[in-house]
């Protein structure tokens, strides 16, 4: 199959639902970590809109987490995230919710809602298994149309490409922006008496841009996928350790799962659980 044929086949990607299920569960945890506190009743008693938003938010995300009527729960979670971002963030001017770290959670919730993430690790799956046992038949296979994962890959590529493109200028590549960041967070307004500080900032700036361009394109190729994603894991770990990025690092790590073929993820989980890998037709 040629590269063009593989590209044309991507929207029809069919495979195991386990990777989508893991994305569903992890995404709810990250959403709660970032947004749950201001949605609590104690923070919204004087704001009827936020109180209603909190009911929708916690109801939909709780159902999504445990996989109860997952399609509906995921869709309602996506709606609640869009309302938080656009209505509360932009229309009402609540600035923390317009942050690009919130945006990636919003778009991830929309894209996960397009996957059959309730097909595994969910109450929906448990109900299907129980029904199959009662009827004396095998349960429905953990499979579905996974083109939503392809859209997550496209989103990740776009995020890294435009992030790198925005940094491809003299202000960043000269190391000046990183110097300003380190002085703001760690060093104060006086120039640091650190040997080769400027040279180190230049090296970090150039390597950051090169890695972000690599993360935009290399994961599409199986040969380069794992090495560049491991570099991305280390890159985001360093950012999390050194800069106030909140949930962004965890979000990117989680979404990396979408880069791997769903059946490959399924087989790895089977091996971890000591199950025999069954051939697929």
Q: Is residue 224 part of a domain?
A: no
Buried b (16+ CB within 10 A) or exposed e, 173-197: bebeebbeebeeeeeeeeeeeeeeb
Q: Is residue 261 part of a domain?
A: no
Q: Is residue 264 part of a domain?
A: no
With CA atoms as reference, report the closest residue to 215 among 167, 149, 158.
Answer: 158
Q: Is residue 93 part of a domain?
A: yes
Q: Please answer whether residues 124 and 69 qualify as being in contact, where contact means their C-beta atoms are separated by less than 8 angstroms.
A: yes
Q: Please answer whether residues 1 and 240 qualify as being in contact, where contact means their C-beta atoms are separated by less than 8 angstroms.
A: no
- Distance from C-alpha of 129 to C-alpha of 132, rounded to nearest angstrom: 5
Q: Is residue 236 part of a domain?
A: no
> Per residue in 195-249, pLDDT tens?
888 899 999 999 999 999 999 999 999 999 999 999 999 999 999 999 888 899 9
At 174 the three-state DSSP class reads coil
> Per residue in 256-276, pLDDT tens?
999 999 999 999 999 988 876
What's the mean pLDDT when you consider all of the chain? Answer: 91
- Distance from C-alpha of 78 to C-alpha of 72, rounded to nearest angstrom: 10
Q: Is residue 253 part of a domain?
A: no
The pLDDT of residue 46 is 81
> What residue numbers bound the domain in which 75 lies?
10-145
Q: Please answer whether residues 143 and 42 qualify as being in contact, where contact means their C-beta atoms are separated by less than 8 angstroms.
A: no
With CA atoms as reference, report the closest residue to 158 among 110, 217, 208, 108.
Answer: 217
pTM: 0.90
Q: How confident is the model at residue 170 (pLDDT cuts 50, 70, 90)?
A: very high
Q: Is residue 226 part of a domain?
A: no
- Distance from C-alpha of 63 to C-alpha of 224, rounded to nearest angstrom: 37
Average of pLDDT values for 153-171?
96
Q: Please answer whether residues 172 and 209 qualify as being in contact, where contact means their C-beta atoms are separated by less than 8 angstroms.
A: yes
Total count of domains within the chain? 1
Please, where are the H alpha helices in 67-183? 70-82, 100-112, 123-135, 147-167, 170-173, 176-182
> By percentage, how much of the chain surpasses pLDDT 90?
73
Q: Is residue 64 part of a domain?
A: yes
Give, in degrees to the nearest 5, the angle at Cα 27 between 62 and 60. 25
């Amino acid at each position: 199959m040629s590269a063009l044929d593989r590209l044309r086949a991507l929207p029809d990607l069919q495979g195991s639902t386990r990777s989508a299920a893991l994305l569903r569960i992890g995404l709810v945890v990250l959403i709660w970590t970032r947004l749950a506190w201001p949605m609590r009743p104690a923070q919204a008693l004087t704001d009827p809109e936020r109180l209603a938003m909190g009911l929708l938010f916690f109801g939909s995300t709780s159902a999504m987490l445990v996989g109860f009527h997952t399609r509906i729960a995921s869709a309602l979670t996506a709606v609640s995230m869009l309302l938080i971002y656009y209505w509360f963030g932009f229309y009402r001017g609540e600035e923390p919710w317009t942050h690009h770290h919130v945006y990636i959670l919003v778009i991830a919730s929309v894209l996960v809602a397009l996957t059959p993430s309730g097909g595994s690790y969910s109450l929906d799956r448990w109900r299907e298994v129980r029904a199959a046992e009662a009827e004396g038949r095998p349960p429905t296979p953990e499979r579905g149309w996974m083109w939503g994962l392809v859209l997550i890959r496209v989103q990740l590529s776009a995020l890294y490409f435009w992030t790198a493109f925005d940094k491809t200028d003299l202000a960043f590549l000269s190391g000046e922006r990183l110097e300003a960041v380190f002085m703001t967070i760690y060093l104060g307004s006086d120039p640091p008496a650190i040997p080769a500080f400027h040279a180190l900032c230049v090296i970090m700036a150039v390597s950051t841009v090169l890695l972000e361009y690599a993360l935009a394109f290399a994961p599409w190729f199986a040969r380069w996928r794992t090495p560049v994603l491991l570099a991305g894991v280390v890159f985001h770990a360093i950012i999390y350790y050194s800069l106030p990025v909140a949930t962004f690092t965890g979000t990117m790590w989680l979404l990396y799962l979408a880069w791997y073929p769903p059946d490959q993820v399924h087989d790895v989980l089977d091996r971890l659980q000591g199950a025999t890998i069954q051939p697929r037709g």
